[in-house]
Structure 1
Amino acid sequence: MSSTKTTIEAAPKDLRPDRVPKGTVVHPKRLVILYDAPDGKPFAKIGPKQFGDTWLPVITRNRDWVQVLLPSRPNGSTGWIRSSQLAEAHSSFLIRVHLGQRTLELFEDNRPVGSWEVAIGAPATPTPVGRTFVLGQIIDDKQPFSPVILPLGSHSDTLDSYGGGPGTVAIHGWTNPSVFGEAVSHGCVRVPDEALALIRTVPIGTPVLVDKN
């Protein structure tokens, strides 16, 4: 089963991790089979729920099949699903994280909405590079550092677990603004309140591209 808690070594690797998806996102209507290619070999399944409804970004189409990014390890995992088993929608948003500049940019319909200095992973626990997506939204007013947490479909490359979870990377707020512009986190991207207020409005499944620039 593909989820943020699992590792599926048989999953095909994302071959174009720097390419911007076209914005199509899909939702499995039920438990569906993942294949390694159109009409190929099944290697896992994925269900309609993760943190909430499962929405996955489409990165390629081939006839009646779509290739999607997956929430399971290893990072960059993909799978093919029959289109007939999916509901389809569109996200007009894109999130870019530039690790070298330590900035996050939000785009809507290819137009910049905002750019902010952020905190990224420390050298020993870096934020993973590549193409991922917003997997869900956790709202917890009792959380001391961020009332809203946006788990991504990627995981730490150096931590198998963190805080009782599977090392899922997330975008979230932070109480001390002095961290912005620094590499100090365990892999998550810490953002200012203004950025969090906007990012929390994007649809689940919205692509997130992380690069070294």
Structure 2
Amino acid sequence: MPFDRMSPYRRRAGWIVGAVAVPVLLVAALLIGQALTPRSTAPDDQNAAIADPTPSSVEQSLQESVPPAAPAPDGLPVLDYDPAPRGFPADPATMDTTPLAEGVHPTRRIAAYDAPGGRPLAFVEPTLAGAELTVPIAQRRAGWTAVLLPSANRQLAWLPPGGFDTVALRDQIVVERRAHRLTWYRAGKAVRSWKTSLGQSGQETPLGRTFILGRTPPPEEVYGGVDIYALGSVPDDPEAVPTGLRGAHIGLHTWQNDDELGENTTNGCIRVTRSGQRELLAEVRPGSSLVVVDQLPTPPSTA
């Protein structure tokens, strides 16, 4: 099977690995890049920690008691660039395009559970694959905080109180598969839109909420010389992608040309123009949410 000219990214022993096609030979070559490095030139105020936020979407009552956290065994896996462990719950609002305005940054190793007061399934650390980790908050209940799970699709992890800072997130990215359009929102208002290339048949760009995991340099010139954003999501069907991409993450990046924008030609990644990618890298910090939908609802007519 011909290898598509665009790839997600994966890590081996602390390194991010990409794969790029050789169209003539129809084979994939593994290319090792640097670890994710979450750089941003956006204003410092977007990184400010905020104390005890209680947004209107939070499901939390002051009268509720906080279920205790069961002790976490030392042998639990650590959430990393590899696929997340099984057992975490589905995100019940994965197609919701309401902006997620807060994130969690662990300040130490903390346990992630399958429910408030439930089973510990993995540890979360302050960094993941060399990048400072910030994960968007999806829900609060009974004193616990649910976050989008890294290295998985459409799943949540529940965190008990303590061991993390809460960070303001002002940006969101919405990708519409049918329109092949990416729109950047700030504080709920659309800022810019770009045409995109998305996943080909059988390797479609995964639907649902995810987030920007971190930033890595381009492994090859075909990426247009612009840094790549690796996302928290992975291919829905890892067996459908070329062998060199098994266990890979979905990426947001540019390409050496814009010939295929508006088409389904990638292995699941999201491709934009070089100028668009540079603007997103400069303005949108890692941890910001990204949601992929087939199409946005049509607003009701006001006529």
| TM-score class normalised by the smaller sequence | over 0.9
Q: 1:195 aligns with which of 244, 268, 276?
A: 276
The one-character-per-residue Cα deviations of 1:103-137 (angstroms, maximum 9, x if unpaired) are 10000111111111110000121100001000001
Contact 1:21–1:58 under 8 Å retained in 2: no
C-alpha separation in 2, matches of 1:188 and 1:44: 27
Answer yes or no: is 1:55 the counterpart of 2:152.
no
Partner of 1:152: 231
Aligned residue for 2:151, secondary structure, equals coil
- Structure 1 residues 77-113: Cα deviation after superposition (integer angstroms, max 9, x where no partner): 2111123111111111010000000010000111111
Query: Is residue 186 of structure 2 the alignment partner of residue 108 of structure 1?
Result: yes
Range moving further from structure 2, 142-151 or 98-107: 142-151
Looking at structure 2, the residues matched to 26 and 204 of structure 1 have their Cα atoms a distance apart, in angstroms, of: 12
Instruction: Report the Cα distance in structure 2 between the residues aligned to 1:77 and 1:2, rounded to whole angstroms.
Output: 13
TM-score normalised by L of structure 1 = 0.93
Instruction: Determine the C-alpha separation between the residues in 1 that align with 2:294 and 2:107.
Output: 36
> Is 2:253 the partner of 1:172?
yes
Ranges in structure 2 where 5+ consecutive residues have no aligned partner: 1-77, 296-303
Where does residue 26 of structure 1 map in the other structure?
104
Stretches of 4+ moved more than 3 A in 1? Answer: 140-144, 160-165
**In 2, Cα distance between the equivalents of 1:175 and 1:82?**
45
Supply the distance in 2 between the matched residues of 1:206 and 1:81 (Cα, whole angstroms): 19
- Measured in 2, the distance between the counterparts of 1:78 and 1:204 equals 18
Q: In 2, Cα distance between the equivalents of 1:10 and 1:83?
A: 21
Instruction: Tell me how far apart the structure 2 counterparts of residues 141 and 127 of structure 1 sit (CA, whole Å).
Output: 21
Q: Which amino acid aligns with 2:294?
A: K
Contact between 1:8 and 1:72, CA under 8 Å: does it hold in 2?
A: no
- TM-score (structure 2 length as normaliser): 0.66
In 2: Cα distance, 1:166 partner to 1:118 partner: 24
Residue 265 (structure 2) aligned to one of 169, 172, 184: 184
Contact 2:216 2:229 in 1 (8 A): yes
User: How many equivalent pairs are there?
Assistant: 212
- Among residues 17, 26, 30, which one is paired with 2:94 in the alignment? 17
- Opposite residue 133 of structure 2, the aligned amino acid is T
Is the contact between residue 21 and residue 57 of structure 1 (CA under 8 Å) also seen in structure 2?
A: no
Q: Could you tell me which amino acid in structure 1 is paired with residue 105 of structure 2? A: H
**1:18 Cα deviation from its structure 2 partner:** 1.6
Q: How far 1:141 moved relative to its partner?
A: 7.6
Contact 1:172–1:196 under 8 Å retained in 2: yes
Q: Deviations over 1:166-200 (max 9, x none)?
A: 22001001111111001000000010122202211
Would the aligned equivalents of 1:91 and 1:205 in 2 still touch at CA under 8 Å? Answer: yes
Q: Which amino acid aligns with 2:229?
A: L
Show the counterpart of 2:118.
40
Q: Does 1:8 align with 2:85?
A: yes
Q: Is the 8 A contact 1:3 1:50 kept in 2?
A: yes
Identity of aligned residues (%): 27
Is 1:68 matched with 2:150? no
Deviates more, 1:158-167 or 1:4-13: 158-167
Q: Which structure has greater strand proportion?
A: 1
Any conservation in 2 of the 1:65–1:83 contact (CA below 8 Å)?
A: yes
Looking at structure 2, the residues matched to 23 and 101 of structure 1 have their Cα atoms a distance apart, in angstroms, of: 25
